[in-house]
Structure formats: C-alpha cells, structure tokens
Amino acid sequence: MLDDARAALRDATRPVAFSGAGLSAESGIPTFREAQTGLWARYDPMALASPEGFTADPELVVAWYNDRRRRVASAQPNPAHRALAGRRDVAHITQNVDDLAERAGATDVVHLHGSLGWDRCSAGCGRRRLIDMADPPSLYACNRCGHWMRPDVVWFGEQLPFTAWSRADELAAEADVFIVIGTSARVHPAAGLITAAGAGGAELIVVNIERTPAHGIQLTGPAGEIVPELLKPTRPRSDD
Ligand code: NAD
Ligand code: ZN
C-alpha cells in the first residue's frame, strides 16, 4: 500500500495534503472529541464553539480557547508536520487551528478554520490582533468599536474564510494526488474537498490511525510514522 501511494506521489505534478486534528494528535493536541475531557467534559461543544455560545458566556468561551492556546504553545511539531514542511511541492490545506505546521517550517498552509494565534472583533469591524499563545489575554474589548474580541477561528454555523476556501477549492479541483491526513471527514464543507478532489480525477491517499470508509489507498497507522515514509523524497527514475 505504501509503495502504491509513493508511486502515485512520484508521478504527481499537483499533489495536495488535506489535514485534520489527527495530524497534531501525536504532538499532544487533543482531537475534537478528546478536547471535551476533564474540566470541559461537562460543556456542550455548541456552548464553546458557536456564536450563540459566545454571546451567552464570552468569558467561558475565551477561557476554553486560552486553555487550548496554552496547550499548543507548549507542544512541539511532530515528524508528520516536519515531513510536510520539507516538501514545498505538496500544497497543504488544514482544518487545524494550531500553528504546528508553521513551527515545523511550513510557510504557505491554507487554514480553512482560522488560527488560534489571532483574535478578531466579534462585531466584524475588521480589527485583528496577534496573540501570544503561551500567555493569552482574558476577554477584552475591541479598541476600534468596543465589542468583544474573539478567537479568529470558525465556529459551528459560521462560513469559512473566503480566501482560504477559494484557494482550497481550486487546489482540490486541480490536484492529481490528494492526501487526507488525520481527519474524520465529518465537518462540512471542508470534508467536501475530498469528494471534489476525487471528482476532479485525483488519486486519494488516506492516512488515519483507524480504517475509514473513504475511497482510495488506505495507509492505516499514526501520521507521525506514515507521513514521513510517504513523503520521503524518491530517487529520480532512470527513464526521466
Ligand atoms: P476529528 O477529531 O473529527 O478527527 C480526527 C481524526 O484523526 C480521526 O479520524 C482519527 O481517527 C484520526 N487520528 C487520531 N489520531 C491520529 C494519528 N496519530 N494519526 C493519524 N490519524 C489520527 O478532527 P477533524 O476531522 O480535524 O475535525 C474536527 C474539527 O475540530 C476541525 O474543524 C478542526 O478545526 C477542529 N480541531 C482542530 C484541532 C487542531 O488545530 N489541532 C484540534 C481539535 C479540533
Ligand atoms: Zn471592532
């Protein structure tokens, strides 16, 4: 299976990786379901990650995100992040809101669901602010319009950022190999990119710790082991 996947990748001219929470799991960042543990287990995800939840209790929502930010700040990129960063020819679209791909050296990751590293004005006045994830601020007001600032991430029921979505949509449509890494592919419209890539003729390679119902070449195991093997540069073919 790994050989088939490597062969597909060797012949690809427009390879794309599409990652989810499983990419960062071995760095100790909990996947979405696991994030609801401990103190946070008693909260409904809708209360923590929706505009309605933020309106109802902005301090609670910011406290939860700050908890996640501190976890990300103390985590390190894993071999899968580093392997992706080392392959500039493989475009990377992620649903992750952490910055581990960038800290592994990637410079052009398409973040479909925003970034924990930024806040933005909840009233949409356009103000954004870079956050120190190791020491994030508690709830504060926008200095331009006075409304609450909020994490610059996409919540349930919200639209994806236009520029990121347009780029991802185009990359998926044009991909000839589409590598799906560590995502349950249940969050739409992001998961629709897999279908779009397949419909556009891309060969699918699926890296997941569990077998998934997705089509394509299945590489079952931890991303931190499989992705570096998959993306290891191959020797040029003698007939090139
Ligand atoms: P998910 O939690 O729904 O699914 C994670 C997937 O990764 C599962 O299919 C699981 O089997 C697989 N997985 C777990 N550990 C793995 C490993 N070591 N190697 C390979 N695969 C592994 O995550 P999702 O599909 O990304 O969707 C959840 C949503 O939550 C996304 O929108 C994302 O923005 C958000 N989220 C982001 C982060 C992050 O930024 N690191 C963390 C949690 C949730
Ligand atoms: Zn504002």
| pLDDT one-digit tens code per residue, 57-109 | 999 999 999 999 999 999 999 999 999 999 999 999 999 999 999 999 999 99
State in Å: Cα 116 to ligand 2 middle: 18
Question: How confident is the model at residue 166, as a pLDDT?
Answer: 98
Residues 43 and 64 in one domain: yes
What does the chain come to in residues?
Answer: 240
Cis amide linkage into residue 151, ω under 30° from 0: no
Q: What pLDDT score was predicted for residue 213?
A: 79
Q: Same domain, yes or no, for 191 and 174?
A: yes
- DSSP 3-state percent helix, strand, coil across the chain (nearest 5): 40, 20, 45
* Domain around 50: 30-74+116-153
- In the reported structure, the alpha carbon of residue 32 is separated from the centroid of ligand 2 by a whole-number distance in angstroms of 29
Amino acid, single-letter form, for residue 232: K
Please name the residue whose Cα sits nearest to atom 18 of ligand 1: 222
- Of the residues 81, 92, 111, 113, only one is catalytic, namely 113
Please name the residue ranges forming H helices in the chain: 2-10, 22-25, 32-35, 45-48, 51-56, 58-73, 79-86, 100-103, 162-174, 192-199, 223-231
Return the CATH number at 240: 3.40.50.1220
Asked about 113 being catalytic, the answer comes back as yes
Same domain, 146 and 180: no
d(CA 54, CA 139): 11
Residue nearest (by alpha carbon) to ligand 1 atom 15? 22
Structural domain count, the chain: 2
**107, 95: one domain:** yes
Of the three residues 103, 134, 153, the one that is the final residue of a domain is 153
CATH number of residue 44's parent domain: 3.30.1600.10
Asked if residue 218 and residue 146 are part of one domain, the reply reads: no
Residue 76 has a pLDDT of: 98
| Ranges in the chain, pLDDT < 70 | 33-40, 235-240
Q: Spell out which residues line ligand 1, taking CB within 6 angstroms.
A: 20-22, 24-26, 29, 31-33, 35, 95-98, 113, 182-184, 186-187, 207-210, 222-223
Q: How far is CA 234 from the centre of its chain?
A: 26
Question: What pLDDT was estimated at residue 236?
Answer: 58
CA 59 vs CA 48, 101, 138: distances in Å: 10, 29, 7
**What pLDDT was estimated at residue 207?**
97
Given the CA of residue 97, which atom of ligand 1 is nearest to it? 40
CA of 173 to the centre of ligand 1 (A): 23
Cα(1) to centroid(ligand 1), Å? 23
Distance from chain centroid for Cα 143: 30
183, 193, 210, 211: residue to mutate for ligand 1 pocket, most atoms within 8 A of CB: 183
Last residue of a domain, one of 153, 173, 201: 153
179/233 same-domain check: yes
